[in-house]
């Protein structure tokens, strides 16, 4: 069994989880520990004990450790990519790309340790100096989803360590393999005992124990809206700091002056790559009526040509859906699309040489924005195509959602691009680019049902991972 890492030791536990390849159900990747509330307690205690020394450690020590982790991930990117593609179903190039991104995140935060700055301000009182500094929050619980099994852990763990926090990491049950590899690398980076802990297991057990634990000071979570909401309520009881990244129903507007091949490519990428399993996926394609039919015809043809298959197969463009449960849910939405009156292209489950959860990309033509298929996050390779009369109508439709993570517009007009950038009520806006696939050094996050708390990534991560101290010194 692959073990948890607690207080500097690899430790087994009674329960374990089976990790299987969604591209080939006969491929058993391994058995992984499924921790208990007691394991979580051990990890939280170890982390809390490590906080005082780590929090005051020399930034060069943290910089060197983060740099070592980044370099080790990079040097093993093939192994990581292979594991990630095998357990999550992302294609191998996507999986290796995600691994490189994770390494870059560790390297970015290695440098950030040397830039933790504050303010010195004159006091309004004589002979008093005021200093504003940033200190670690303490023990940070990290709860991550299966869809980015190395990038999302990286963008939570790296800043946590950079700013002097200790970490208890609970990865998604569906992707413990990548998390375990990452933990091995962190374990080899010679951090003091207790600074980093891995507790794999069920959200209802380990996650619940984490949110209830008095020694956990803050939780950074990426996952679904219902879990995020429950977590926020529970965390409020313990007055824990929380950062939630949840769903999306991201709009991509295609104007009548768009470069059509570029728009098709951006929509294919945004809607279907990574099997649509991205909170930044373009699941609402809002297309100007003047080009609606042309756009739909081209998109249907291009989507039908995408090669769906084994994530590790040569030339595969769309890997499997992550699990049977997710596939059932996606297929139910395809049925719902028909019931709601959309015209459905693709979306059917397909067979491959290996038994897995393969689904063809689904396009819901003549969809309305008010339909459930256009309002609820599906988290699969499914996109509604909604007609808009003009720019203002498209903008109104784009903003008419309970989410607000990313949004995009394809247009040749600077005026439309500028207005969309200013009036889109999303946390991230893309012009002539897919709504998914973001840089690693700038803030990530959204509004409304998509995010709660301060931004992740880049220098803005400091807001969550530090606590501000204001000191007054009287010189006498």
Rank residues 156 and 213 by Cβ distance to ligand UN1 and give the closer one.
Answer: 156
Residues between 208 and 267 with contacts to ligand UN1, criterion CB under 6 A: 222, 245
Tell me the per-residue interface mask from 108 to 147 with ligand UN1, x by CB under 6 A, - otherwise. -------------------------------------x-x
Can you tell me the distance from the alpha carbon of 213 to that of 211, in angstroms, rounded to the nearest whole number? 6
The dihedrals phi and psi of 212, each to the nearest 5 degrees, come to: -90, -10
| 48 or 438: CB nearest ligand UN1 | 438
Query: 273 or 416: whose CB is closer to ligand UN1?
Result: 273
d(CA 345, CA 367): 12
DSSP SS3 for 459: helix
Q: For 146, list phi and psi in degrees, rounded to 5.
A: -80, -15
CB of 11 to ligand UN1, least distance (A): 29
Least separation in angstroms between CB 437 and ligand UN1: 5
In a 10 Å sphere around its CB, with 0-12 CB exposed, 13-18 middle and 19+ buried, how is residue 224 labelled?
middle
Contacts within 8 Å (CB) and 24+ apart, 427-430? 427/451, 427/455, 428/280, 430/406
Q: Indicate whether 283 belongs to the interface with ligand UN1 (CB under 6 A).
A: no
Between CA 364 and CA 381 the distance in angstroms is: 11
Please, what is the minimum distance in Å from the beta carbon of residue 56 to ligand UN1?
Answer: 32
> Could you tell me which residues are beta bridge partners of residue 382?
362
Q: Are 371 and 340 in contact (CB under 8 A)?
A: yes
Q: Is 3 in the site for ligand UN1 (CB under 6 A)?
A: no
Closer CB to ligand UN1, residue 246 or residue 308?
246
Nearest-angstrom CA–CA distance, 113 and 164: 9
User: CB-wise, 52 or 226, nearer to ligand UN1?
Assistant: 226
Q: Is 429 one of the binding residues for ligand UN1 (CB under 6 A)?
A: no
Cα within 13 Å of Cα(288), Cβ side = 17
Taking residues 144 to 183 in sequence order and writing x for each that binds ligand UN1 by CB under 6 A, - otherwise, the string is: -x-xx---x-------------------------------
Q: Which residues are catalytic?
A: 245, 279
Instruction: Among 103, 140, 168, 279, indicate the residue that binds ligand UN1 (CB under 6 A).
Output: 279
Q: How far is the CB of 323 from ligand UN1 (least distance, A)?
A: 16
Cross-sheet strand order for the sheet of 451-452: 9-11, 4-6, 196-198, 166-170, 139-143, 218-222, 241-245, 451-452
What residues contact 314, with CB distance under 8 A and at least 6 apart? none
- The verdict on 278 binding ligand UN1 (CB under 6 A) reads yes
Of the pair 138, 153, the CB lying nearest ligand UN1 is at 153
Q: Which of 103, 185, 337, 436 binds ligand UN1 (CB under 6 A)?
A: 436
DSSP-assigned letter for residue 273: G
**Dihedral of alpha carbons 163, 167, 172, 178, sign:** positive
Kindly report the backbone phi and psi dihedral angles of residue 375, in degrees, each rounded to the nearest multiple of 5, phi listed first: -115, -30
* CB of 126 vs ligand UN1, minimal distance in Å: 50
CA distance linking residue 114 with residue 136, whole number of Å: 14
Q: Which stretch binds ligand UN1 (CB under 6 A): 1-9, 332-340, 410-418, 433-441?
A: 433-441
45 versus 222: smaller Cβ distance to ligand UN1 = 222
User: Left if phi > 0, otherwise alpha if psi is -120 to 50, otherwise beta: which for 301?
Assistant: alpha
Select from 437, 446, 449, 458 the one that contacts ligand UN1 (CB under 6 A).
Answer: 437
Tell me how far, at minimum, the Cβ of 98 lies from ligand UN1, in Å.
9
Contact 149, 155 (CB under 8 A): no
Does 438 contact ligand UN1 by CB under 6 A?
yes
- Closest to ligand UN1 by CB, 8 vs 97, is 97
CB count in 10 Å sphere of residue 456 = 22
**Angle (nearest 5°) at CA 99 between 224 and 451:** 25
Please compute, for residue 219, the number of CA atoms within 13 A of its CA located in the half-sphere on the CB side. Answer: 35
x/- string (CB under 6 A) for ligand UN1, residues 62-101? Answer: ----------------------------------------
Q: How far is the CB of 249 from ligand UN1 (least distance, A)?
A: 13
Residue 152 C-beta: closest distance to ligand UN1, Å: 6
Site residues for ligand UN1 per CB under 6 A: 145, 147-148, 152, 222, 245, 278-280, 436-438
């Amino acid at each position: 069994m692959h073990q948890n890492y607690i207080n500097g030791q690899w430790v087994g536990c009674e329960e374990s989880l089976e990790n299987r390849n969604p591209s080939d159900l006969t491929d058993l990747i391994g058995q992984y520990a499924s921790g208990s509330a007691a394991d979580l307690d051990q990890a939280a205690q170890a982390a809390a004990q490590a906080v005082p020394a780590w929090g005051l450690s020399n930034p060069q020590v943290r910089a060197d450790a983060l740099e070592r982790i980044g370099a080790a991930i990079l040097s093993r990117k093939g192994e990581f990519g292979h594991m990630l593609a095998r357990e999550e179903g992302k294609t191998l190039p996507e999986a290796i790309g995600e691994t490189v991104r994770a390494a870059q995140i560790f390297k970015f935060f290695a440098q950030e340790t040397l830039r933790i700055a504050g303010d010195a301000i004159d006091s309004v009182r004589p002979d008093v100096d005021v200093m504003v500094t940033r200190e670690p929050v303490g023990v940070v619980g990290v709860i991550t989803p299966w869809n980015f099994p190395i990038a999302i852990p990286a963008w939570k763990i790296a800043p946590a360590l950079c700013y002097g926090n200790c970490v208890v990491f609970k990865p998604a049950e569906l992707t413990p393999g990548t998390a375990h590899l990452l933990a091995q690398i962190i374990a080899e980076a010679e951090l003091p005992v207790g600074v980093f802990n891995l507790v794999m297991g069920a959200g209802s057990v380990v996650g619940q124990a984490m949110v209830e634990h008095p020694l956990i000071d803050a939780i950074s979570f990426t996952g679904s809206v219902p879990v995020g909401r429950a977590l926020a309520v529970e965390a409020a009881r313990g007055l824990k700091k929380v950062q939630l990244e949840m769903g999306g129903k991201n709009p991509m507007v295609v104007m009548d002056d768009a470069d059509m091949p570029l728009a098709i490519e951006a929509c294919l990428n945004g809607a279907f790559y990574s099997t649509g399993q991205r909170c930044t996926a373009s699941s609402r394609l809002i297309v100007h009526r003047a080009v609606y039919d042309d756009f739909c015809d081209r998109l249907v043809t291009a989507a039908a040509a995408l090669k769906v298959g084994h994530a590790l197969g040569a030339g595969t463009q769309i890997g499997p859906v992550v699990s049977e449960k997710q596939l059932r849910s996606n297929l139910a939405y395809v049925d719902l699309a028909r019931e709601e009156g959309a015209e459905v292209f693709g979306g059917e489950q397909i067979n491959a040489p290996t038994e897995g959860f393969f689904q063809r990309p689904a396009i819901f033509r003549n969809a309305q924005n008010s339909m459930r298929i256009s309002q609820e996050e599906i988290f699969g390779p499914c996109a509604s195509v909604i007609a808009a009369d003009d720019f203002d109508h498209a903008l109104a439709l784009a903003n008419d959602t309970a989410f607000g993570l990313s949004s995009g517009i394809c247009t040749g007009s600077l005026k439309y691009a500028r207005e969309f950038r200013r009036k889109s009520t999303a946390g991230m806006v893309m012009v002539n680019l897919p709504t998914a696939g973001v840089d690693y050094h700038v803030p990530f996050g959204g509004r409304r049902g998509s995010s709660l708390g301060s931004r992740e990534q880049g220098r803005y991560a400091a807001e969550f991972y530090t606590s501000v101290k204001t000191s007054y010194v009287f010189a006498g």
